[in-house]
Structure 1
Amino acid sequence: MNIFYAFGLGIVMGLSIAAPPGPINAMMAHESIRSSLHGTAVGAGAMTADFIFFWLTYFFKSIIPSSALIFFYFIGGAYMLYLAYGVLKIKGFKATIKGSYVKGLTTAIVNPYQISWWLTFGISMLQQFSVFIAPGFFTGIVIWIFSFPMIINKIGERYVIGVKIFSFIVLLAFGIYILYQGIYALKI
């Protein structure tokens, strides 16, 4: 396998999990208004969750029962609704960088989108490329978690209310959708 090909493909795959709109990017945008470092801290927390999922998927990909995901749907959905409420309620930015990191980690570790990504695309990625994909994959995530907050921080000050409303809508929608997926999974 060509090392440059694996690295480039890994970057694209890393961006495929980091860049789509969702709860992590909504929180990154919200925290980036204060400083790009706070937004990056949220992304670093989510990347830590991806690092954990990477190794769990690598070692346990053949024994993970899909029925175990139902638990994450309910916890993840409830947590997203809590975060949506918090975004509207917040008057100022009080989170420390460590607090932003923990918020990103806890959200990502129960996020059914990330869990589903790892149980589908992640397993496929690891079966095809094994651990050789890791350097490019995490480079793609690092590119996103540094560039996105920087951009939001530069333009976001003018759009504080818009970012807050957008973050609330995305988190609320994902929370409801994730809870719905959990209820639907129970019926199957």
Structure 2
Amino acid sequence: MTVLGTVTTAIAGMVFGLSVAAPPGPMNAVIAEESVARGWTAGFRAGLGAMTADACFFVLALVGAVAVVERVPAVRGVAFAVGGLLMLYFAVGAARDATATHEAPAESRGFRKAFVLAITNPFQIAFWLTVGVGLLEPGRIDVLGPLPVGELSGLLVVRTGSPLLLVGFFAGILLWVVGFPATLVAAERRASGVGPAVAYASAVVLAGFGVVFLGEALTMLGSLR
């Protein structure tokens, strides 16, 4: 691999990791709630919890264990049910944090909370069943190949299955885990109303995903009869 190819693969992994970590969802809702209620350290720990779950899925994908969820519909249904119930439970906690943001903060359990949510999140499992497997399999993506200018073909090549791609991927997630809580804490310091608003929004996001997950679980388990 050329020096340019090495740099391209590492940067591509980092950008992809950021793009996976940044969209709104239950994990970012937990990180946001912990950040505004208990500070940057708590938000960072929550992010590490979600990232640790990704690392576990990465190892399971390597050995093929994650595929069991895809092959056994009952396991998928139970995973959705457990994930949905946990999200509803943590949504209640987020709503309580919204009213207690300016009181003495309780001990942070963000790492455990985010890890449990992430490890039972069927969407995260599905990611490692599909896109994650693609990251692990050796291959070659010509970034500029589809362009009509032929001489650019082969200039920027990303190597899937490369350790550099995977290191970049987790580095991108870590960058988000560091920056997102810092941004929220800075916003909370500038405007005191930001904290409760973020905590309430986190509760709504978690509750919404919880209801969706429970609906999916009922559909899946009901089809097994």
When normalised by structure 2's length, the TM-score is: 0.76
1:140 to partner: Cα distance? 0.4
Larger Rg computed on CA atoms: 2
The aligned residue for residue 171 of structure 1 is 206
Where do 5+ consecutive residues of structure 1 fail to align? Answer: none
Question: How many pairs align?
Answer: 186
Over 3 Å counting, the alpha-carbon distance change for 1:64 and 1:174 in structure 2 is same
1:114 aligns with 2:128: no
Q: Which 4+ stretches in 1 moved above 4 angstroms? A: none
The aligned residue for residue 50 of structure 1 is 54
Q: Distance in 1 between matches of 2:91 and 2:67?
A: 34
CA offsets 1:108-131 (integer angstroms, 9 cap, x no match): 111122112111211122224225
1:16 to partner: Cα distance? 2.8
Q: Distance in 2 between matches of 1:107 and 1:11?
A: 23
1:89 to partner: Cα distance? 2.4
Over 3 Å counting, the alpha-carbon distance change for 1:58 and 1:131 in structure 2 is farther
Backbone CA RMSD of aligned residues: 1.8
Where do 5+ consecutive residues of structure 2 fail to align? Answer: 140-159
Selected match of 1:12 from 5, 10, 15: 15
Q: Distance in 2 between matches of 1:48 and 1:120?
A: 19
1:63 to partner: Cα distance? 4.7
The correspondence of residues 1-188 of structure 1 with structure 2, limited to 5 A, is 1=1, 2-33=5-36, 34-60=38-64, 63-66=67-70, 67=73, 68-90=75-97, 91=100, 92=103, 93-96=105-108, 99-127=109-137, 128=139, 129-132=160-163, 133-157=165-189, 158=192, 159-186=194-221, 187=223
**Seq. identity, %:** 34
More helix by share: 1
When normalised by structure 1's length, the TM-score is: 0.91
Q: Distance in 1 between matches of 2:196 and 2:51?
A: 27
